[in-house]
Structure 1
């Protein structure tokens, strides 16, 4: 599994200038435009995008065929991908916290914002990153490199459409979902955080088994 990590980090290293630009953009938005929380949501999608790119690299030019002729089990391959996703999520969360902290300090001239609510909000952001990974991994395995761009559109477009559909449906039937969510976050943030962690964990377990079935169905 160590070799798989080295391979993926080599892929990621090739795109270092792009990621540096994205990080600088996030820093600029948080610091100069005084929107410290922007970077938390902005960085939350990067782990999934990077993970998708590594799967695409692996599958390009029948790469899976060569990869699985080596003594690498499909189960171990997927475990490494989800482990990489966990590491990337933590890395980008750390960067987001650092950048948002600088932005907050510039505005408030203190570190009073570093409270339990802020940290739980960061944890919720991390869970969103892992939720995206749970969706994007089986999609990446299914579409492979040839249709990776289509896969990205399906994933992020699907998430956007789903959220928009829920929003407009609740508005249509007169159900004030925003107020309920705000009330839950304000009064029961710890419970919301715990429920989100459990939900995300279950989603990733299901995602792993779906990805494994998709890999097993393919002929390499």
Structure 2
């Protein structure tokens, strides 16, 4: 797995101009809107999604056929993609947090506590996104996988609207529940969702291994 990680990090190194561009965008946005947490979410999401791009690179020109002729197993390949996605997500999330931190110190706008809470909240979100998207990309490939992800997101959006309309029709009031939940310490939420995200990532990894074991190259 170490060799696969080195390969993907070298691919990332070849994309340094792209990463410099997204860092420049984050710096520009936080300069225009100091005190915001835009850089944290933006860099965290873009960094974690590079694992999807690395799968597309592996598929290019039937590269997987050559890749799996090397002494690596499909299980190792899947574990490496998840590890690579998590490492990139955390690294870029940390970079975004640093940018926001120095922005608040320099401009004296924003709140450090809220900034750190935002960063901690986005970590489980990034893990959940990886757990959802990686199986789709491994199943359908880089291009079709992205279309499948968009289709799933659209379905969830429509389902959310339908549930809201049903709740309104049945006169279900969620306000008391939301008010009660808002009184709970945010750290409890973060730990709870982090546990859910790690669990989802572990299940997703097993699903991805099953998907890759059935594929022929």
TM-score, normalisation: structure 1: 0.83
Paired with 1:181 and 1:21, the residues of 2 have a C-alpha distance of: 40
RMSD of aligned Cα (Å): 2.8
* SS at structure 1 position matched to 2:112: coil
Distance in structure 2 (CA, Å) of the matches to 1:172 and 1:99: 45
- After superposition, give the CA deviation of every residue in 1:125-165 in whole Å (9 maximum; x if it has no partner): 11111111111110110111352442453465556556656
Runs of 4+ deviating beyond 4 Å: 155-183
Structure 1 unpaired stretches of 5+: none
Alignment size in residue pairs: 217
Alignment of 1:131-210 (within 5 A): 131-151=128-148, 153-154=150-151, 157=154, 180=177, 184-185=181-182, 187-210=184-207
The range that moved more, 201-210 or 36-45, is: 36-45
Residue 60 of structure 1: SS of its match in structure 2?
Answer: helix
**In structure 1, how many angstroms separate the alpha carbons of the residues matched to 2:23 and 2:176?**
33
Aligned residue for 2:61, secondary structure, equals coil
Q: Deviations over 1:174-196 (max 9, x none)?
A: 55658855763553212111110
1:1-220 equivalences in 2 (<5 Å)? 1-108=1-108, 113-115=111-113, 118-151=115-148, 153-154=150-151, 157=154, 180=177, 184-185=181-182, 187-220=184-217
Distance 1:160-1:35 versus aligned 2 partners, 3 A rule? farther
Structure 2: runs of 5+ lacking an equivalent = none
My pick for the range that moved more, 141-150 or 155-164, is 155-164
CA positional deviation for 1:103: 2.7
Report the TM-score when normalising by structure 2. 0.84
CA distance in 1, matches of 2:175, 2:209: 37
Give SS of 2:34's match.
coil
Mapped contact 2:127–2:197 kept (Cα < 8 A):
yes
How big is each residue's C-alpha offset from its partner over 1:36-70, in whole Å with a ceiling of 9 and x where there is no partner? 21222222321342111011111222222211111
